[in-house]
C-alpha cells in the first residue's frame, strides 16, 4: 500500500539538511533528533528524553520489520496511556505500518470486529489486555503476531523483547510516501457496523500543523495529557513532539493528581472534556493549588455552560479554547478561541458560547439543504459540510460510502447546524443521533442493540438529555415486555456495555412515538428535555 518516493525516505540526521518533511514519519524523526536532550514525556513520575524515545522506537521498528511487518500493514495498539504506547506509536511510524488504535473501553466483540474487518495481523496489547489478546488470538485467523507490555506471558513476547532485538541507531529503511496510510480509525457504527476511516501521512502532517497553530502550542509548553492517546490526545502528543515540548502523560483523569501535576510540573497546556473541568472547579483542593502556569485549556466534544465557563474564567483566566471535528476531519473543523470566550463573557454575548466557533485557517464550512444540497444563507439550518487538507482518504473497503460522504473534497458531517452573520457555526442536532456524554461519543444504536436483547424489553430508544455534569446523559426509554425494573436494566448494562455507554437514566412507557413512516420519533422524545436548553445538542 506504500509507494516509492525518494524524498519521503529522507531521515533527518545531525548536520544534514533534508528540506521540509513530507511525511509524519520524517517530521517526527527529525524532531526526535533535533531535541534529543530535551525531556519528551514524563510517565509514572519518570522522565524520558527525545533521544531515548528515538532509540527505543528505532529498536521496536526494526524488530517488527524483522518479524515480518511491512509498510501498509495494520498494527493494533490495544492499551491505555503508558510509555509503551508512545514508543510503539513512534515505532509504527518508522516501520511504515498503519496504526489501528483501539479504545480500551471497547468490548471484546468490538475488538474482534475491528481487527477482522481491517485484516490486522499484529497487536500490541497493554498489561490489562493479555487475556483479551489470548482470546482474540484463538478466535481470529488473521492474527499472526501478538506482543504485550509490562506483563509476564508464556504465549506472547513483550515490547521489551522487541527493544532488545532491534537496532537502536537507525530506523528501518522502508518506503513511505505522503500518500501512504498512517492511521486506520473506526467510527462508532451509527448506521450498521463501524466504518474504518483511513488517513494518510500528508493528511495527518497537515492536521498536526493545524493543531500547533490553532491551539496555541509552542515548544516551551508543558502538556498534561489525561484523555486516551488512541483519541484526540494522540494528535496533541504528535504536535508536542514536533515542537520539542514536554508531555506529562497519565493513564486517566484523577482530579487530585491533575491538580498536583499542574502545580508540580508547571503545566501550561492541557485538554479536558467539560465534565473534567467541572470536577476540578468543584474540588476543594483547587483553592490550595497554584494553577497560574496554565496558559491554554482546550476542551471539545461538548460545550461548557455559560455559568460554569464564567467560573472557569474567574479561576484560570482567559485560557479556554473549544474545537469541533470528527474522525473524518480530525478535531479541527472550527475553533472558538480564548479571546472569543473572554469577549462573550465580558460583553454579555453568552449566546456565542453556544457556538462551535469559526472555521480554522485550513478548513471551511458550508451549510447545505439536507434534501437538495443547496448552500444555505446565514441563519438557515442544514447539514454541516466541511473541507480541509486533512479530510479522510476513504472509508476502508467502502467505496460507495466514501463517494456518498466526500464530494469534491467536502465531507458530509452528518451534523445539523447553522452559521450566523459573523460566520460562527452552531450545532443543532446530529443526524446520526450520537450522544456526547462526558466527552465520549456514544452511539444510540450501539446501546439500543444491546438493551433490545433483554428478555423483558419490547422496544427501546436511547437519547441524550441535558446534564450539568456529563453534557448529555445517556437515557434509555423502554417499552417493557413483562416485569422489569430500572435496576434490572442497570445490572444488565453493567454486564453488556462499556461504562461510558451505560444508561444513566431509564424510563418506562406504554409506547414510543412514531414518525409517519413508522420509525421511532427521537426528535419527539428529546423535545421535552431540550425545550428549556440554550442549545439543542451538547
Per-residue confidence (pLDDT) for residue 532, from 0 to 100: 60
Per-residue confidence (pLDDT) for residue 349, from 0 to 100: 78
Q: Is the pLDDT at 459 greater than 50, yes or no?
A: yes
pLDDT in tens, 248-281: 999 999 999 999 999 999 999 999 988 789 899 9
How much is the average pLDDT of 495-511?
Answer: 92
Q: In three state form, how does the secondary structure of 44-81 look?
A: CCEEEEHHHHHHHHHHHHHHHHHCCCCCCCEEEEECCC
Is the Cβ–Cβ distance between 214 and 361 less than 8 Å? yes
Q: Is the pLDDT at 190 greater than 60, yes or no?
A: no
| All structural domains of the chain with their residue ranges | 7-178, 434-530
Per-residue confidence (pLDDT) for residue 188, from 0 to 100: 67
| Residue 267, C-alpha cell as written in the block | 503545566
Q: Is the dihedral of CA 241, 247, 250, 255 positive or negative?
A: negative
Q: How many CB atoms lie within 10 A of CB 400?
A: 8
Residue with cell 460566520: 423
Per-residue confidence (pLDDT) for residue 75, from 0 to 100: 99
Is the Cβ–Cβ distance between 320 and 344 less than 8 Å? no
Q: pLDDT exceeding 90 applies to what percent of the chain?
A: 72
485 CB-near residues (< 8 Å, 6+ apart): none
Q: One fold for both 7-178 and 434-530?
A: no
* 302: confidence class by pLDDT, cuts 50, 70, 90: low
Is the Cβ–Cβ distance between 245 and 218 less than 8 Å? yes
Is the Cβ–Cβ distance between 475 and 528 less than 8 Å? no
Could you tell me the fold of the domain covering 7-178?
Rossmann fold (3.40.50)
**Which residues lie across from 471 on neighbouring strands?**
467
For the chain, the residue count is: 538
Strand ranges for 56-153 from DSSP E = 74-78, 98-102, 122-125, 145-148
Q: Is the pLDDT at 245 greater than 90, yes or no?
A: yes
Q: How many CB atoms lie within 10 A of CB 500?
A: 16
How much is the average pLDDT of 39-65?
Answer: 98
Question: H or E stretch including 527?
Answer: helix 522-530
pLDDT in tens, 74-112: 999 999 999 999 999 999 999 999 999 998 878 888 899
Most confident by average pLDDT, 333-337, 442-446, 519-523: 333-337
Per-residue confidence (pLDDT) for residue 2, from 0 to 100: 35
Superfamily of segment(s) 434-530: ANL, C-terminal domain (3.30.300.30)
Most confident by average pLDDT, 17-21, 285-289, 432-436: 285-289
* 515: confidence class by pLDDT, cuts 50, 70, 90: low
Question: b/e per residue, 301-313, with b = 16+ CB within 10 A?
Answer: bbbbbbebbbbbb
Instruction: Put the strands of the sheet holding 74-78 in their side by side order.
Output: 157-158, 145-148, 122-125, 74-78, 98-102, 181-186, 196-200, 394-395
Is the Cβ–Cβ distance between 459 and 448 less than 8 Å? no
* 398: confidence class by pLDDT, cuts 50, 70, 90: very high
Q: Is the pLDDT at 537 greater than 50, yes or no?
A: no
171 vs 516, more confident: 171
How much is the average pLDDT of 191-207?
Answer: 90
Of 86-100, 168-182, 416-430, 495-509, the least confident = 416-430
267 vs 142, more confident: 267
- In terms of C-beta density within 10 A (0-12 exposed, 13-18 middle, 19 or more buried), how is residue 20 classed? exposed
Per-residue confidence (pLDDT) for residue 533, from 0 to 100: 58
Question: H or E stretch including 116?
Answer: helix 108-118
* 15: confidence class by pLDDT, cuts 50, 70, 90: very low
26 CB-near residues (< 8 Å, 6+ apart): 8, 10, 11, 12, 18, 176
Is the Cβ–Cβ distance between 64 and 95 less than 8 Å? yes
How much is the average pLDDT of 239-245?
Answer: 99
Q: Is the pLDDT at 221 greater than 90, yes or no?
A: yes
Q: For the residues of 290-352, what is the DSSP string, one character each? A: --TT--EEEEESSPPPHHHHHHHHHHH-S-EEEEEEETTEEEEEEEE-HHHHHHHHHTT-GGG
How much is the average pLDDT of 337-366?
Answer: 90
Q: How many CA atoms lie within 13 A of 231 on its CB side?
A: 22
* 429: confidence class by pLDDT, cuts 50, 70, 90: low
pLDDT in tens, 103-116: 887 888 889 999 99
* 13: confidence class by pLDDT, cuts 50, 70, 90: very low
Per-residue confidence (pLDDT) for residue 498, from 0 to 100: 87
Of 46-55, 299-308, 359-368, 400-409, the least confident = 299-308
Amino acid at each position: 500500500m506504500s509507494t516509492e518516493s525518494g524524498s519521503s525516505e529522507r531521515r533527518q540526521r545531525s548536520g544534514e539538511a533534508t528540506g521540509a518533511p513530507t511525511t509524519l514519519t520524517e517530521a517526527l524523526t527529525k524532531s526526535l533528533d533535533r531535541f534529543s536532550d530535551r525531556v519528551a514525556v514524563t510517565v509514572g513520575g519518570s522522565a524520558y528524553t527525545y533521544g531515548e524515545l528515538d532509540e527505543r522506537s528505532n529498536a521496536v521498528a526494526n524488530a517488527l520489520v524483522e518479524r515480518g511487518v511491512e509498510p501498509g500493514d495494520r498494527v493494533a495498539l490495544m492499551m491505555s496511556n503508558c510509555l509503551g504506547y508512545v514508543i510503539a506509536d513512534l515505532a509504527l511510524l518508522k516501520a511504515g505500518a498503519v496504526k489501528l488504535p483501539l479504545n480500551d473501553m471497547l468490548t471484546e466483540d468490538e475488538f474482534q470486529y475491528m481487527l477482522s474487518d481491517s485484516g490486522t495481523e499484529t497487536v500490541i496489547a497493554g498489561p490489562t489486555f493479555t487475556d483479551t489478546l489470548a482470546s482474540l488470538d484463538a478466535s481470529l485467523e488473521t492474527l499472526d503476531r501478538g506482543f504485550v507490555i509490562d506483563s509476564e506471558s508464556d504465549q506472547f513476547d513483550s515490547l521489551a523483547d522487541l527493544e532488545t532485538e532491534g537496532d537502536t541507531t537507525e530506523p528501518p529503511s522502508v518506503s513511505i510516501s505522503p500518500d501512504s496510510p498512517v492511521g486506520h480509525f473506526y467510527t462508532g457504527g451509527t448506521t450498521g457496523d463501524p466504518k474504518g476511516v483511513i488517513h494518510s501521512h500528508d493528511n495527518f502532517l497537515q492536521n498536526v500543523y493545524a493543531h500547533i497553530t490553532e491551539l496555541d502550542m509552542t515548544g516551551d509548553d508543558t502538556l498534561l495529557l489525561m484523555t486516551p492517546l488512541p483519541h484526540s490526545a494522540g494528535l496533541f502528543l504528535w504536535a508536542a513532539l514536533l515542537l520539542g515540548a514536554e508531555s506529562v502523560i497519565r493513564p486517566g483523569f484523577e482530579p487530585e493528581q491533575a491538580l498536583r501535576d499542574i502545580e508540580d510540573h508547571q503545566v501550561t497546556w492541557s485538554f479536558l472534556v467539560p465534565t473534567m473541568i467541572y470536577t476540578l472547579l468543584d474540588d476543594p483542593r483547587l483553592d490550595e493549588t497554584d494553577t497560574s502556569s496554565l496558559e491554554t485549556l482546550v476542551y471539545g466534544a461538548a460545550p461548557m455552560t455559560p455559568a460554569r465557563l464564567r467560573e472557569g474564567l474567574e479561576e484560570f483566566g482567559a485560557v479556554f479554547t473549544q474545537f469541533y471535528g470528527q474522525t473524518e476531519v480530525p478535531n479541527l473543523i472550527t475553533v472558538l478561541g480564548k479571546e472569543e470566550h473572554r469577549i462573550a463573557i465580558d460583553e454579555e454575548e453568552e449566546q456565542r458560547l453556544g457556538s462551535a466557533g469559526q472555521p480554522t485557517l485550513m478548513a471551511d464550512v458550508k451549510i447545505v439543504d439536507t434534501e437538495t444540497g443547496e448552500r444555505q444563507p446565514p441563519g438557515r439550518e442544514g447539514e454541516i459540510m466541511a473541507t480541509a487538507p486533512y479530510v479522510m482518504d476513504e472509508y476502508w473497503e467502502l467505496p460507495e460510502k466514501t463517494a456518498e460522504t466526500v464530494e469534491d473534497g467536502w465531507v458530509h458531517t452528518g451534523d445539523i447546524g447553522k452559521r450566523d452573520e459573523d460566520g460562527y457555526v452552531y450545532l443543532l442536532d446530529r443526524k446520526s443521533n450520537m450522544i456526547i456524554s462526558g466527552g465520549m461519543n456514544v452511539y444510540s444504536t450501539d446501546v439500543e442493540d444491546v438493551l433490545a436483547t433483554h428478555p423483558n424489553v419490547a422496544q427501546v430508544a436511547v437519547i441524550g438529555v441535558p446534564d450539568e455534569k456529563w453534557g448529555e446523559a445517556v437515557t434509555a426509554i423502554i417499552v417493557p415486555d413483562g416485569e422489569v425494573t430500572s435496576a434490572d436494566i442497570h445490572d444488565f448494562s453493567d454486564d453488556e456495555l462499556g461504562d461510558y455507554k451505560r444508561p444513566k437514566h431509564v424510563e418506562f412507557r406504554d409506547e414510543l412515538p412514531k414518525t409517519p413512516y413508522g420509525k421511532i420519533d427521537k426528535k419527539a422524545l428529546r423535545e421535552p428535555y431540550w425545550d428549556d436548553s440554550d442549545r439543542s445538542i451538547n
